[in-house]
DNA sequence: ATGAAAAACTAATAAGCGTTAGTTTTGTAC
DNA sequence: GTACAAAACTAACGCTTATTAGTTTTTCAT
């Protein structure tokens, strides 16, 4: 009967994960039922289990796909030789780009990770912690090279991360604010400040 | 038998709401059961209903208590005559102060509001939207008065709000970073930028 | 066309949920 | 101490949940 539509260039499993990301973002992980997801996919709930291991697997896939993408990007950034400011600039722009192309997944990874079960929860958290501390290292280097003000590195990193992670709020204003305007203004504000 | 301990200078209902905020923050609204809350309070689940209307009422109380506090503060800020920069400075510091003294409640209001039911959901969202647009007005005035760079006002507001709302991440580093260091660095970074 | 594998279906399970009903205990004012 | 109200208790309801079992349909290579 009803057949699961595979997403372009992806398995049926990928299609389910994508729909799940949308629902998890919209309603939250716990508030999304498998029946609801099944309906979105166009199938009865038990049929989903021909493709996935269970509800928790869906969350794991979403969270780690996002985490890995960011980790990979940071690694490439570290390997590229350029100024710290330029690296921070690119890092902020990457976050914005990701928010544009994978809004649901990013939101879920940022807000629903607490429903992961161990050992995935621990893995996810330590991966995040590592990302954070590598950014701190970057800022410390910038301070040392006198590219950056003598600001507290942790605070600087947390401020940047908070600001970019909070970009979800921007989704509501997408049509009013083009992506490049957002990018340039945000980078400028975070790096150069607001005061004239 | 077990008796609900009233919080200092507060009703038993307040004590329940406080415990609920802690659990909702830690596990999420949907993932917190009334039985779990009851255990934290030291009572059987049905006993809670002698003091509260239901689970959803708890979320409402938390969210609107927070929203009202912020709305009130912004109003006071608007009425005080001083420079826009000074106002923004104070606004950022207020957010940080609130994060310190009402972490659970703030977190819940920021992350669990989507589980509010109408008409509370609509009320909450419009209250937030209003807060946002009043901040935009403030930034616009700052640009007009040439206190601020010619930055996109919406982007500036969203960046600030995102940064301060994301301060939850800071809770993990509380012992390493004193509140005043955080405040000063964050205000400085958001207003003056990171680059030397 | 045929047979096997993939993927859908229906039915049912056990567990957990918020909440209600009805009863008993506790605290308080006279 | 007695009576009244507040607040606790136990038991249970009806509903939803994720998931499994077992069966039927669809897909596809030969």
- Residue B8 DSSP code: T
Tens-place pLDDT, residues B168-177: 877 777 778 8
Bases of chain C with protein Cβ within 7 A: 6-12, 16-22, 25-27
How far is B143 from chain A, CA to nearest CA, in Å?
9
Contact, A4 CB vs strand C, < 7 Å:
yes
Task: Give me the pLDDT at residue A2, please.
Answer: 38
Q: How confident is the model at residue B44 (pLDDT cuts 50, 70, 90)?
A: very high
* Residues on chain A touching B185 (C-beta within 8 angstroms): 151-152, 155-156, 159
Dist CA A82 CA A7 (whole Å): 38
Cβ contact B105:B45 at 8 Å: no
Verify that B37 and B59 share a domain, yes or no: no
Task: Give me the pLDDT at residue A162, please.
Answer: 85
Cβ within 8 Å, pair A152-B181: yes
**Residue where a domain terminates, one of A53, A76, A91:** A53
B186 Cβ neighbours under 8 A, 6+ residues apart: A155, A159, B92, B96, B163, B164
Cβ within 8 Å, pair A154-B176: yes
Task: Give me the pLDDT at residue A74, please.
Answer: 95
Verify that B36 and B98 share a domain, yes or no: no
Task: Give me the pLDDT at residue A195, please.
Answer: 54
Task: Give me the pLDDT at residue B195, please.
Answer: 55
Cβ within 8 Å, pair B154-A173: yes
Please tell me the total count of domains within chain B.
2
**Which residues in chain A land under pLDDT 70?**
1-10, 193-196
- Cis peptide leading into B174, omega within 30 of 0? no
Task: Give me the pLDDT at residue B9, please.
Answer: 52
**Residue where a domain terminates, one of A33, A53, A73:** A53
What CATH code is carried by the domain that includes residue A31?
1.10.10.60
Choice between B128 and B160, residue whose per-residue pLDDT is larger: B128
Verify that B41 and B96 share a domain, yes or no: no
Task: Give me the pLDDT at residue A158, please.
Answer: 86
Q: How many CB atoms lie within 10 A of CB B26?
A: 13
Verify that B181 and B93 share a domain, yes or no: yes
Verify that A79 and A107 share a domain, yes or no: yes
Task: Give me the pLDDT at residue A1, please.
Answer: 36
| Percentage of chain B exceeding pLDDT 90 | 58
A176, closest residue in chain B (CA to CA): B154
Asked whether residue B28 carries a pLDDT value surpassing 70, the answer given is: yes
Bridge partners of A195, per DSSP, are B148
B92, closest residue in chain A (CA to CA): A159
Q: What is the largest CA-CA distance in chain B?
A: 66
Task: Give me the pLDDT at residue A9, please.
Answer: 53
Tokens of A69: 């993408």
B33, closest residue in chain A (CA to CA): A30
How far is A9 from chain B, CA to nearest CA, in Å?
34
Verify that A116 and A46 share a domain, yes or no: no
Q: How confident is the model at residue B6 (pLDDT cuts 50, 70, 90)?
A: very low
Verify that A112 and A183 share a domain, yes or no: yes
Contact, A51 CB vs strand C, < 7 Å:
yes
Q: How many CB atoms lie within 10 A of CB B75?
A: 11
3-state DSSP helix/strand/coil % of chain B, to nearest 5:
75, 0, 25
What CATH code is carried by the domain that includes residue B83?
1.10.357.10
Verify that B92 and B4 share a domain, yes or no: no
Task: Give me the pLDDT at residue A164, please.
Answer: 85
Gap from B53 CA to D11 C1', Å: 21
Task: Give me the pLDDT at residue A73, please.
Answer: 96
Of A31, A156, A182, the CB nearest to B194: A156
Verify that A30 and A92 share a domain, yes or no: no
Dist CA B37 CA B43 (whole Å): 9
Dist CA A105 CA A169 (whole Å): 15
Residue B80: Cβ-neighbour burial (10 angstroms; 0-12, 13-18, 19+): exposed
How far is A165 from chain B, CA to nearest CA, in Å?
7
Bases of chain D with protein Cβ within 7 A: 6-12, 16-22, 25-27
Q: How confident is the model at residue B2 (pLDDT cuts 50, 70, 90)?
A: very low
Task: Give me the pLDDT at residue B1, please.
Answer: 35
Q: Look at B54-68, B74-88, B110-124, B145-159 and tell me which has the smallest mean pLDDT.
A: B145-159
Verify that B22 and B61 share a domain, yes or no: no
Range of the domain at B113: 55-192
Closest residue by Cα to the C1' atom of nucleotide C24? B1
* Phi then psi dihedrals of residue B73, to 5 deg: -65, -40
Closest CA to A160 of A182, A137, A136: A136
Verify that B74 and B102 share a domain, yes or no: yes
Q: Does B140 touch chain A (CB under 8 A)?
A: no
Dist CA A165 CA A159 (whole Å): 10
> B-contacting residues of A 67-106, CB under 8 Å?
85, 88
Closest CA to B148 of B94, B90, B88: B88
Q: Which of B194, B195, B196 to mutate to test the interface with A (most CBs of A within 10 A)?
A: B194
Based on DSSP, count helices (H) and strands (E) in chain B, helices before strands: 8, 0
Q: Specify the pTM.
A: 0.87
Based on DSSP, count helices (H) and strands (E) in chain A, helices before strands: 8, 0
Gap from A49 CA to C10 C1', Å: 15
Verify that B135 and B153 share a domain, yes or no: yes
DSSP B44-80: -GGGGGGT-S-HHHHHHHHHHHHHHHHHHHHHHHHHS
């Amino acid at each position: 009967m009803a057949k699961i539509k595979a997403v372009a260039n992806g398995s049926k499993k990928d299609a389910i994960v994508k729909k799940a990301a949308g629902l998890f973002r919209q309603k939250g992980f716990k508030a999304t039922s498998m029946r609801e997801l099944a309906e979105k996919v166009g199938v009865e709930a038990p049929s989903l289990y021909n493709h996935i291991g269970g509800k928790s697997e869906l969350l794991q896939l979403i969270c780690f796909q996002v985490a890995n993408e960011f980790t990979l990007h940071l690694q490439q950034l570290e390997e590229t030789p350029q100024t710290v400011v330029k690296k921070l600039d690119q890092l902020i722009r990457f976050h914005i780009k990701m928010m544009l192309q994978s809004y649901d997944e990013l939101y879920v990874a940022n807000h629903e990770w607490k429903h992961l079960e161990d050992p995935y929860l621990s893995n996810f958290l330590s991966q995040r912690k590592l990302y954070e501390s590598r950014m701190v290292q970057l800022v410390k280097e910038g301070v040392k090279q006198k590219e950056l003000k003598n600001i507290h590195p942790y605070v600087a990193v947390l401020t940047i991360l908070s600001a970019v992670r909070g970009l979800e709020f921007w989704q509501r204003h997408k049509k009013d604010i083009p992506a490049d305007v957002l990018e340039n203004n945000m980078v400028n504000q975070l790096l150069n400040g607001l005061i004239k």
